[in-house]
Amino acid sequence: MTDTVPFIDLRSQQSEIFDEVAPLVAEILRRGDFIGGRAVATFEEEFAAFCSVSHCIGVGNGTDALELALRALDLTGQEVLVPANSFIASAGAIVRAGAAVRFADIDDDSLLLDGASLERSLGPDTAAVMAVHLYGQPAPIEELQLVCGRAGVLLLEDAAQSQGASRHGRQAGSLSLIAGTSFYPGKNLGAAGDGGAVLTSDDELASRVRRIANHGSARKYVHEEVGFNSRLDTIQAVVLRAKLARLEAWNEARRAAARRYDELLAGVDGVRLPVTLPGNIPNWHIYAIRVAERDRILAGLNDAGIGAALHYPTPIHLTGAFAHLGLRLGDFPVAERAATELLSLPMSPHLTPDQQHRVVEALTGLV
Ligand SMILES: *Cc1c(COP(=O)(O)O)cnc(C)c1O
């Protein structure tokens, strides 16, 4: 037990693609087409096809992608609902788009916003709902759509963690009007730096996103509005093309690892396993169990060289960034309790069965 088990093994990913990508990056350095190079449009077409949407617009990062989606939907000045248990960027993008955040609690088993929790949380002024496919498990979108449809509320997706996940055979990112995704290096489809994309099959929304992301300009030096600058770099597009070609195999490897954890942990008292909703094929961006005395167990695992981690220790409404909303402990009890129990185990396509046995052995000695 000398080797450590990293939370995510990015080095193995890079070495798989290195020989293919290095000469292409060298070529870009020689040519100098750093912005808007051919690889960007090609990647956008390939990823749109992968997600079964008509348009993929490459942007600077996932937070920008969500902000652009919200701005394209004209939600500035309106209220947008988001689950309290996400990465802060889900709510941050709403603020950045000039909209008001309304938080919601979640289903205790799936940890996702579901129809019942949405029904309880919608307000009279809610104009849109951002479903988050947390940990790479699609939210029950048809339930959410039903509630949103009845209330005349728009629905969009935060698909930052769900590249290649599907629900009833439909790809995450294609389940609503518009979605934002992230190519942060640790995501299932990660760049060699920051990147993101907006996904939609609506032609008008797609051209609005492109315009806002490019200084409010559809034609050079014609500016119809004040936009900002958020683009996917050519070098990142080259890296992403190489990784996209491997994404399904990598996600399959994660699924096999998730099944192995499920089996190894099935008889372990005090460990609550992740629940997959019927109809979902997750991409297992994160494999999170729930335990009592989580902080002691996390410290014990880290001491044993196991890269366990937290996603996320503080529900968004209790962060300092949202203190001005005056929300308190007790407002979203399911999300709050989950945040004290959740523990993310090492997960990546290159995680070996031997490493998983070591994780489980260390964990079993601690619970
Ligand atoms: C990573 C992530 C984002 C933000 O993406 P960045 O590329 O880091 O800006 C948004 N939402 C969720 C759920 C994420 O995991």
From-to residues of CATH 3.40.640.10 in the chain: 10-241
Instruction: Determine the pLDDT at residue 301.
Output: 98
Compute the distance from residue 328 Cα to the ligand 1 centre, in Å.
24
Atom of ligand 1 nearest to the CA of 133: 13
Flag whether pLDDT at 103 surpasses 60. yes
From-to residues of CATH 3.90.1150.10 in the chain: 247-364
- pLDDT tens digits for 159-195? 999 999 999 999 999 999 999 999 999 999 999 999 9
| Interatomic CA distance for residues 37 and 172, integer angstroms | 27
| Interatomic CA distance for residues 193 and 189, integer angstroms | 12
- pLDDT tens digits for 29-76? 999 999 999 999 999 999 999 999 999 999 999 999 999 999 999 999
Flag whether pLDDT at 122 surpasses 70. yes
Q: Cβ of 270: how many Cβ atoms within 10 Å?
A: 14
CATH class of 10-241: alpha beta
- pLDDT tens digits for 246-281? 999 999 999 999 999 999 999 899 999 999 999 999
Instruction: Determine the pLDDT at residue 267.
Output: 87
Do residues 339 and 313 lie in contact, with contact meaning Cβ atoms separated by under 8 Å?
yes
| Interatomic CA distance for residues 115 and 129, integer angstroms | 12
Instruction: Determine the pLDDT at residue 2.
Output: 56
Residue 163 burial class via C-beta count within 10 angstroms: exposed 0-12, middle 13-18, buried 19 and up:
buried
| Token representation of residue 196 | 């993101």
Specify the fold of 247-364.
Aspartate Aminotransferase, domain 1 (3.90.1150)
Residue by residue, DSSP assigns 157-217 as: EE-TT-TT-EETTEETTSSSSEEEEE--TTSSS--SS--EEEEES-HHHHHHHHHHHBTTE
> What's the whole-model pTM score?
0.97
Share of the chain above pLDDT 90, in %: 96
User: What is the Cα Rg of the chain in Å?
Assistant: 20
**333, 335, 357, 334: which is closest to 345 by C-alpha?**
357
Compute the distance from residue 30 Cα to the ligand 1 centre, in Å.
32
Atom of ligand 1 nearest to the CA of 195: 7
| Interatomic CA distance for residues 272 and 49, integer angstroms | 36
Q: Is the CB of 63 under 6 A from ligand 1?
A: yes
Do residues 135 and 99 lie in contact, with contact meaning Cβ atoms separated by under 8 Å?
no
Three-state DSSP class for residue 229: strand
Q: C-alpha dihedral over 67, 340, 292, 365, to 10 degrees?
A: 70
DSSP letter, residue 276: P
pLDDT mean over 135-151? 98
Question: What does pLDDT average to over the chain?
Answer: 97
Side-chain-side CA neighbours of 94 within 13 Å: the count stands at 29
Q: Which residue has the tokens 């907006």?
A: 198
| Interatomic CA distance for residues 319 and 123, integer angstroms | 22
Flag whether pLDDT at 1 surpasses 60. no
Instruction: Determine the pLDDT at residue 162.
Output: 98
CA-nearest residue, atom 2 of ligand 1: 160
Q: Is the CB of 132 under 6 A from ligand 1?
A: yes
Compute the distance from residue 156 Cα to the ligand 1 centre, in Å.
15
